[in-house]
Structure 1
Amino acid sequence: MSPHDYPLTDPRHPHYNPDPHAHPGLHAIALVEGVKGLLAVLAASGLELLGPAPLQRWVRELIARFQLDPQSGALALFARQISPGAVHWAAAAVMAYGLLHLLEAWGLWRAKAWASWLGCVAASLYLPLDLYALWRHPGWPALAVLGINLLVVWVLARDLLRRRY
């Protein structure tokens, strides 16, 4: 579809340009979400291909390298919890996460309102965690993450407001 195929206004939202090319902020967010989704799908595939044995071995190597107690502690507990079933569940959860981000990216690229809602809500859920991270570890990295998430929420909320949702 070319930019000329879009009507100048939508009667339901007269102040909103429905042409996806008129929304570079949505495209930028869509690219980031698409990359996150693709990486998650690749990670889920890798988990399924590897299975539990290499993961258990890597955790045991970490325990040995840092001279931790192999019978107690978080890494020891984690190593004991790695099983074929746990790996399948983890891969399924990561795959669902990745597919959701790919779907959001597709919708944002096409300037769909549901994708702006999904992205705005999802990014907003991270804001309390970003504030906590800034409080616990003040510095420019935590501030940058908070700033980026605020920018994403602002761009998506602005898109929704322009639609008058």
Structure 2
Amino acid sequence: MRPGDAAGLHAEHPHPHYNPDPHAHPGLHVIALVEAAKGALAVLAASGLELLGPAPLQHFVQLLIARFQLDPDHGAMAWLANAIGPGSVHLAAAAVFFYGALHLLEAWGLWRAKSWASWLGCVTAAVYLPFDVYALVVHPGWIALAVVAINLVVVWVLGRDLLRRRL
């Protein structure tokens, strides 16, 4: 029993049968690697947005409008071309950077078997599930089915981790 621990249990791992060693949780490590990859890609994308700026993005949208013979003055693509500016690119880059940083933080926590990271991952994966199921119903196929299956596995692994902790 360590000093300050309630009933002899460490606050991070209150259940006596939970192994606090991060190496005892390979499922968390797999999810952590995926989250780290998503986070790194998002941070790279945010950096790319900042480095490119609005001009190449506007040019790309104009190419799409010309290629698909869309109305350059009306419609979603015309709105997008007009909406791209320095402020909107900075805002998009900041949002993508925050998304990436959150995934990197979650990956760090999962790698170290932190309960807050299991909560974060479980809740965020569960939030995506209704949208994934909707996509599967509207656009059935093996990709949509794989996305639903992967998210269900992630929720199950993280939920099982939380139940073992009794949190």
Give the Cα separation in 2 of the matches to 1:66 and 1:22: 53
2:22 aligned residue: 20
> Aligned-pair distance for 1:67?
1.0
Matching residue within 78, 82, 94 for 2:96:
94
Q: CA RMSD in A?
A: 0.8
SS of the equivalent of 1:17 reads coil
Q: Which runs of 5+ in 1 are unaligned?
A: 1-9
SS of the equivalent of 1:131 reads helix
Q: Which runs of 5+ in 2 are unaligned?
A: 1-7
Q: Which amino acid aligns with 1:146?
A: V
SS of the equivalent of 2:125 reads helix
1:85 aligned residue: 87
- Give CA-to-partner distance per residue, 1:21-54, whole Å, 9 cap, x none: 0000000000000000000000000000000011
**Normalising by the residue count of structure 2, what TM-score does the alignment of the two structures yield?**
0.92
Give the Cα separation in 2 of the matches to 1:100 and 1:43: 14
Equivalent positions of 1:54-65 (< 5 A) are: 54-65=56-67
Q: Which stretches of structure 1, 4 residues or longer, exceed 2 Å deviation after superposition?
A: none
- Give CA-to-partner distance per residue, 1:56-78, whole Å, 9 cap, x none: 00000011011111111111110
Q: Percent identity?
A: 76
Is 2:155 aligned against 1:153?
A: yes
1:39 aligned residue: 41
Matching residue within 134, 137, 144 for 2:136:
134
**Normalising by the residue count of structure 1, what TM-score does the alignment of the two structures yield?**
0.93
> Aligned-pair distance for 1:138?
1.1
Give the Cα separation in 2 of the matches to 1:50 and 1:81: 16
Matching residue within 57, 65, 72 for 2:74:
72
